Structure formats: C-alpha cells, structure tokens
Chain A
Amino acid sequence: MKRLFYFFRQHKPILLAVIGFCVVVVAWFSAQCEFGENIFQLLPETGNEEYRVTFTNLKLKDKIFVQAVKTDSNSNVSQDQLAEALDMFIDSVVNVTDERQSVEHTLSYIDPLMLINIADYAASHLPAYMDFTPKQMDSLCSVGHICNQLNLYQEFLDTELGQNFYDIVAYDPCGLVYDKLSAIIPSDEIDSKTTNKGGLINNHLYTADGDVCFGFITPSFGTDNSRESSRLNRTMDKIRNQVREQYPGVDILYHGTTVLSGGNSQRMHTDIYVTVSVAMLIILVLLSLCLKRPSYIVLTVCALGFGVLMALAVLFAWQGGMSVMSLGIGAIVLGVAFSYVLHILIHYIYTGSVDLTLEEQTKPVLLGSLTTIGAFAGLLFTQSQLLKDFGFFALLVIIGTTLFSLIVIPHFLPRKYAPNKKAFQLLEKANAYHIERNKSICTLTLIWVIVCICFSGRYTFDSDLTHIGYTSADCQRAQDSWAEHMNQGYNKLYFASVAPSVEEALEQLPAIESSLDSLNAQGLIINGLHTSMLLPSLQKQKERLAMWSNYFTPSKQIEVWHNIQKACAQTGIEADMFLPFREMMEHPAEPELLTDSSVLPPEITENLMEQTGDHVLVYFPVKTSYENSHKVTDCLASKKGCMVMDPYYYTTGLVELIHDDFNLIMWISSIFVFLLLFVTYRNLWLTIIALCPMVLSWYTVLGAMAIFGQSFNLVNIIVSSFVFGIGVDYSIFILEGLLRGNEDNATMVYNKTAITLSATILVICMFILGFAKHPAIQSISFASVVGMVTTILLSYTLEPNLFKLYQYIKTKKNK
C-alpha cells in the first residue's frame, strides 16, 4: 500500500484521472440502479413445487376492499348516504388516477340488469346445472306440482322482483330453479339477501347488518410494486379526507394487500429517512467535535459515498438493481465501513505521518475488512433475495470504502492539522482507565456472558413473516371492521383448485370441496360456497345434458307439455308462456362456462377464476374461526390440486429452512474468519484470542434475546453478520495494539480512540433504529445494541487478559 501511495504521490495527475474515472463510472452506473419495492423478495421461492405459481401475478390478492361506515354507530346516516360517499370515493380514485391508469376496474354498483341476465342465463342453461333422478323429475313434472308452482308464480309475479323475473319463469314451470338455488347459495347468505338490512340495496352492496356499504378496487399493478401501491395509498388518503368533508357522518376505510404493501413502503421510507437523518446528524456532530477540521468530515463522507456508489454500480451491473428494503437495512453497514475510515484518520491525526499511518493501519484495516466481508458473504448463500441483496451490498460497500480509505484518502489528508485535543483527551482519558484490571467489571461481564450463553439455546425464531410487516392503524381498523361486519368475526380463507387447464381445475374442484362437507360436519367451517355449483366443468355439463336428454324423450316431452297445459288451464295461465321450457326440453343449451358467457363482468369473474402463467386457479372461499384456521388450511392444503391463497402459508416452513441455513452459514463464516486470522497471525492462540470476543458476543446476543423475550426473524438475523463483522474488527485492532508492546503503547491509544468513537456512534445509530415504527427495522435494534456493547466490553476486558495469560504461559515455557 505504501508503494502505491508513493507511486500516486509522484504521479498525481494519474491519481486524479483514476479517481475521476472511477467516480464518473460508479456514479453513472449507480444512477441506473433500479430499486425494487417488491416486499415478496423477502420470501423464499414459493414452496408449492408442484405448481410454482407466483403470487405476485394474481389479481385476487391485489384487490382493495373499500367500506363506507358511519363514524358513529348511533348516527342517523342513511344507507343511501353511505352509498353516495362510497361512489364519490371510488369515482374520484378512478378519475384522479386515470392518467396513470392505476385502476383496472372497480365494483361498487351492481347493475340490476346484470342480476336479471345472470338469472336468465341460469334458467336457459338449467339442464347443465342440475342433477336429478328420474323419480325426482317425475314428481316435479307432475300436474299437481306444476299447478302449485304456477300458483306461487301468480303471487310472485305480482311483486316488483317477480315482474323482473317474468322471462325466467317462462323457463321453469316445474319449479326446478328454486329447488337448486338453496344448493348453490348457503342458507345464511340467502337470509342476508332477503333481510331488509343488508345485501343488495339500491344496487349497492351492504353487509348483513346494513351498516357498511362496500366495494372493491382492482389496481392495474401488482402488490409487488410497492412504489405504485404507496402512491395509490396517498391518493386514497387525500380523497378520503374530501369525502369526510362532504359527508361528515361517514368514514371510508380500505385495506388489502396493495394497501399493506404501500403502507409498508411508506413506513419504511419514513423510518429510513428519520433514522438515517438523525444518525447522520449525530455522526456529524460527534465528528465535528472530535475531528474539528471540515476536511476530515468531507473525506469521511466521500469514502462512505464512494463505497455506496460502487456497491450500487456493481449491483446494477450484476443484477440490474436491488431491493429498497435491503438498502434501508444496509444503512447499518455504513457504520462498520465508517470505522475503517476513522482508524485511518485518527491515526494520522495522532502521528501526522501518512507513511506511519499506512504502515501501521494497512494490515489491521485490510484484515478487519476481509473478515467482515467474509461475515457478510455468508448471506449470499441464503434463499431470500432480500438477504442476498443486503449481503452483496454490504460487502461491496466495505470493499469500496476500504479501498478509498487506503488509496485515496492519504493523498488528501491536510498537511497542517489541528486535532481537537480536548475531544481526544476525553476519549483518551476514558480509554486510559484500565478496565481490564477492574475485577468487578470483568467479573460482571463474564457473568453476563456466561448467563447469556446458558440461555443461548432457548432463543426463538419467529418464522411468521406477517410479524415483520407493517400495518398502519387505519389499515388495521379497516381489517377489523371487515372481519366484524362482513365475516361476523370469522376468518375468511381463500383457496384455489389449481391445474394447467380450466377443465382440469374444474374437474378436480368437487373432490376438493367434498372436504368442506366433512369440515362442516365437524363444525370447523361455516358453510363454504360451492364454486363447483356455479362452475361445473364442461364434462360434467355434458353428463348432465345427457341425463336430461335421456329423461326428456319425445314421448316424455309430450307428456310433460300436456301436464303443463293442464296446469295452466287450471290456473288461468296461457301455456304458450312456457314455450321456452318446451324448447329447452328438446334442445337444451350447449355446455358453456359461466365465465365464458358475457353475463359476468371481469371484476366479478376474476373472483371466480384466474389464469396466471401456465396455470388456472378456480377460487373458493371458506369461513372459519381464527382458532380453526390452521387446521382447516392444513386439511385443504393436503388435497391434490388445492392451493392456499396465502403466500405466507408456504413460506413458513421455508423460513425455518433459511434459519437452519443460517446456522450453517455462520459456521462457514466463522471458519473463514478463523483461517484468515490464523494465516495472518500464524499462531493458534492469537487467533483464538482474536476470535473470542466475536464468538462469545454472538452467543451473548442469543442468550439476551431469550432472556428478554425477543425473537429472531428473517430480517434481524442479519445482526449475526453485523456482530461478527464488528466483533472481529475491534478484537483485531486491540490485538494489533497489544502485539506492539505494553498496554499504553501509542498504537493501542490510537486504536482505542478510534474504536471508542466508532462504537459510540454505532451504538447510538443502532439504538435509534429501536424508534422506527416498521417492525422489521425495529427488530434489528435490540440485538445490535446488545451485540455491540458486549463486543466492546469483551474486547476491552477479556482480550487483554487472555493476551496477558498467553504471554505469561509463553514466557514460562521459554524459561
């Protein structure tokens, strides 16, 4: 490194050219770097190997559920006002986002003609939807039954609803439709439609209690696009306020995966801005106090900035971009990289000599950075893209910052320096105290470490990824309201029959739904909707049509028509009214899927069926209690072709695998660091002494987490790499100081000053993370602070004592 320094000192233009070139290149490439906001990057590859369906492409999960509710349950806001408020909200969202085309479609108003068209379709395609025995049909087609049915129709057609269904009645003199209706729609849903409180009122959808008017918005982008999600969230927040002003007694609530995704993104950005800003402020203040000269601060910022730009540039060149969540978490690596810069600067401030600084700091800085790189490199072997991004980003930042510190900074150090002796005096005074000689502190530290190690086996790993997601208060309120009003406090789960083709998915659906009957019999579910009744497969329809044709032979047709005529004569109705039925007996409609007819709009059909990639999913919902959710999910997930529409369900097991991977990765990193230290020091005992703080502090973190009831998760597990990296850095610098002579030698003073300053800054920064509101970021704080403090204590207490012991034994052996 010294040779390089001399070369560039003698060829300054080349140095400037190289620096300029590097800066331009990394700046240009890093500007191209794309920051993905896909929260699902946190997840391992979805584990249902049989289908490999990617949840990010499914529209069903993207829906935003919108509710118009009364702000005060006792207020006299009418149902019409709720509907108007909802319409205003949804129409405004569509209009405002029209330019960006953020909304694909909405559903809040049900066209009354659509319902009649659906009924019309059902009536005209009745033979394809019904199973019957000849005996049952004989009974239905008897004169007596037809007479009763016609009398019912006489009353029914006097009603407003009945008059709209005149043409449907024409297809069904025998009352076949009504008999099947209750098989398709569970009784509680029929009840909700027939009560005056809820259901479909004035073409708007209301919950059963009539207190909530609801609708849906389907965005045109997936929830993996957190940037668009947060933009849409902000738009909806503004419009909600406008609706509140116009309708004072009404509030608009909305939730869904898109809202969650956007909320996560917004929260994360806010937390990162706040924590990084505060951290930077503290760093600047402390550095200003200690280093005094602005040029040192500029050099520090340049070194860190170069490291970050280089990392982004390489990431762009390698994979096009990285996750913004990785970037946010990666901010903690800046603290590690910063310590290398600090060592160079402080050593120079003390000695005033670049040569001496390079001579004494190159080896420990390189060694420290290499071991830290080794610690973060382990993350590259995990299955989570987010952790890979973080690991890659971290090691690149350290490489960039270290190289800048060793190659560039020495050329720009001020010739005449004026260290703030008071600030350093304070640090020196604190470090001059031989803490390793204080038996109480040493004993307490040892006890703390031993106790934590004893508890280290009891740490927990929370594999539930929903716990590290952020849900805003508004979103939670919306979810609670939905659960209460829509699901009556139950949990509504969504499943799908998945297959390569529509026909296969529909064919296997009845077999899956047969499980619902047994679950219902056990009282585990609340009467799931049978999608197979709405969407029978084409094969099933053909079988039913064959059964229909076999029954309605020409002679049977004549007989049944004769019965209809008789019944009509008795009830005073013209038999010609039922000519459509007569036609249907002879020529039933061809098999056709309801979703292929033009009867249902896309915003409804996509709730029934969806195609993504090479797979077709036919959805069906199941209502159950929260306590039984897991049991029901496990039962249905075990059925062939059935998929749980919850990406977290499949990843929980894989998160556990990642956790297991981590243990292996930690061992690999430890061995790598061990070998590196051994090659450097060529002494087993020195290697062990250097490793001790790192290893013991990690087990201390594990124990502390167990003692204080904190859990590890997929995000804060990265603290392991952080603690490893920092731990080995501090112990290397302390050991370097110890190897140069007595405890008060100059190198030790310089290193301790740098370590204390760096550690103080890092602990403050990690502590600040605890004030973040995002669970993922917040969860990093505790483990990091415990790890940092333990590392410093062990480096300052245990390491010198072990070194003394080593020297004593060595001296005794030599004697």
Chain B
Amino acid sequence: MKRITTIVITLLALLVAYPPLYAQQSGLKSGKEYPFIETRVMPKMKKTTERKGIMVFEAPETLRMDYSQPAGEYTHISAGKFDVCKGGKVQHLPVKDPKHPMSIYRATLLYCLGGEVEKAAKMNHASIDYSTSGKTKICTLSVEKAAPRDIAKLQLTYILPSGQLKSMTITEGNGNYTTYTIQ
C-alpha cells in the first residue's frame, strides 16, 4: 500500500513539474473565428508588411482568411481549391497535382492550423523538434535542403497549459518569413 502510494505521488509530482507532458498542441477550433495579424518580413531588404484579418478553419480542409487590412483581400482554401485575392486580382493556384509546391503549401497550412503537425512534417520531409519557453511550447519543423521559395522552417507556438495555437511562422529557403499571430 505504501509503495503504491509512493508511486502515485511521484507520478503526480512529475505531472505537475512537466506540464508539457500532458499539454498536447491543438489546432484551431473548427468553425470558430480567430482574429489574426500576418507579418511578412524580408530581413535582407529590411522590409516588413503587416495585414490583419479574421481566420476560420473548418476541419478537414476548409480555411478562410479574410483581411480587413487591406480590405477585400483573402486566402480561401476548400476542397480542391486554393484561391488568393491580392491587389484586386484573384489567383486560383494549381492544386490538382499533390506534389505541386502550392499543393504542399496548402496542405501544410491546413495540417498546422488543424493541429496535425506530424502530417505536416511528413509532407515536407521535415524533422520535428519540441521545446518550451515559459508558458509556451514551441514546435519547430525543419527542412534540411529547401529551395529558395519553399518552406525551410515552420515554427508553431502554443500556449500552455491549454495547448492553444498562438502563432505560426513560415520561413522560406531565402530567409524571408511570414508570421501569423492568432489573437
């Protein structure tokens, strides 16, 4: 009896000491609206561009990012579609071929926002690394050899203990990166 009690207390202590063990990362809740800020940075050009909007994710493959700043622009993902409206022009990006970079990018967004990080890593042939920093858990997907415009690194930050996704940073092979901060 005494032994069993000791084991249970030890386990509880571990759980308390290591919250990351039980706080799994989760994606966005399906159907809920999330205000977000998109920050695009070109470090070498010392350029930063910011956009704001509302993001809605619906499992398994619907994502709407409607921007209020600048108004009218959007990124819409649905079954077999990946549409981007920017500068008044709508682009229907090619996603028929699953190996096309746009298809991979689309799928990566959906997986990451949906909480399926492992699938995103597998799709991009990336390694996964977890770390904690204060009350956040950071999941980093690193691609060994990425072309300049392909995804080189994905960094997902989750709030502990809930595991709620806080931000997502996509870094390209050329060093430029885009951060989506969920508010």
Chain A interface (Cβ < 8 Å from any Cβ of B): 80, 109, 111-113, 116, 153-154, 157-160, 163, 166-167, 170, 201-203, 572-574, 576-577
Contact = CB atoms under 8 A, between A and B. Distances in A.
B86 A577 contact: no
Contacts of B100: 111, 113
B148 A167 contact: yes
Contacts of A166: 42, 45, 148, 174, 176
20 contacts: A80-B90, A109-B94, A113-B101, A113-B102, A154-B47, A158-B47, A158-B49, A159-B87, A160-B89, A166-B42, A166-B148, A167-B149, A202-B90, A203-B94, A572-B46, A573-B46, A574-B44, A574-B46, A577-B44, A577-B45
A573 to B, nearest CB: 6
Nearest to A157: B45
B92 A202 contact: yes
Nearest to B47: A157
Nearest to A114: B94
A573 B44 contact: yes
A167 B148 CA distance: 7
Contacts, number: 53
Contacts of B12: none
A154 B45 contact: yes
Contacts of B40: 163
Interface string B69-93: 0000000000000000011011111
B106 to A, nearest CB: 13
A202 B42 contact: no
B98 interface: no
Nearest to B97: A111
Among B42, B43, B86, residue most surrounded by chain A Cβ atoms (within 10 Å): B42
A202 B92 CA distance: 6
Given A112-B93, A203-B94, A574-B46, 11 more contacts: A111-B100, A112-B94, A116-B149, A160-B89, A163-B40, A166-B148, A166-B176, A167-B148, A202-B90, A572-B46, A573-B44
Contacts of A202: 89-92
Contacts of B90: 80, 202
A576 B44 CA distance: 7
A203 B87 contact: no
A163 B48 CA distance: 12
Contacts of B148: 166-167
Interface of B: 40, 42-47, 49, 86-87, 89-94, 100-102, 148-149, 174, 176
B138 to A, nearest CB: 26
Contacts of B46: 572-574
Report the 3 A-B pairs with minimum CB-CB distance, sorted nearest first: A577-B44, A574-B44, A167-B148
A170 B94 CA distance: 26
B81 to A, nearest CB: 13
B126 to A, nearest CB: 20
B51 to A, nearest CB: 12
A116 B43 CA distance: 21
Contacts of A154: 45, 47
Contacts of A112: 91, 93-94
Contacts of B43: 574
Nearest to B73: A160
A202 B87 CA distance: 13
A576 B43 CA distance: 10
B90 to A, nearest CB: 6
A197 to B, nearest CB: 13
A203 B92 CA distance: 8
A157 B87 contact: no
Contacts of A577: 44-45
Nearest to B90: A202
Contacts of A203: 91-92, 94
A170 B101 contact: no
Contacts of B87: 159-160
Nearest to A116: B149
A576 B46 CA distance: 12
Among A109, A167, A170, residue most surrounded by chain B Cβ atoms (within 10 Å): A167
A112 B82 CA distance: 13
Contacts of A573: 44-46
Contacts of B92: 202-203
Contacts of A572: 46
Nearest to B149: A167
B63 to A, nearest CB: 20
B65 to A, nearest CB: 16
Among B45, B92, B148, residue most surrounded by chain A Cβ atoms (within 10 Å): B45
A455 to B, nearest CB: 66
Nearest to A111: B94
B86 A160 contact: yes
Contacts of B89: 160, 201-202
A166 B49 CA distance: 15
Contacts of A153: 45
Contact of B174 (A116, A159, A170, A201): A170
Contacts of A159: 87
Contacts of A157: 42, 45, 47
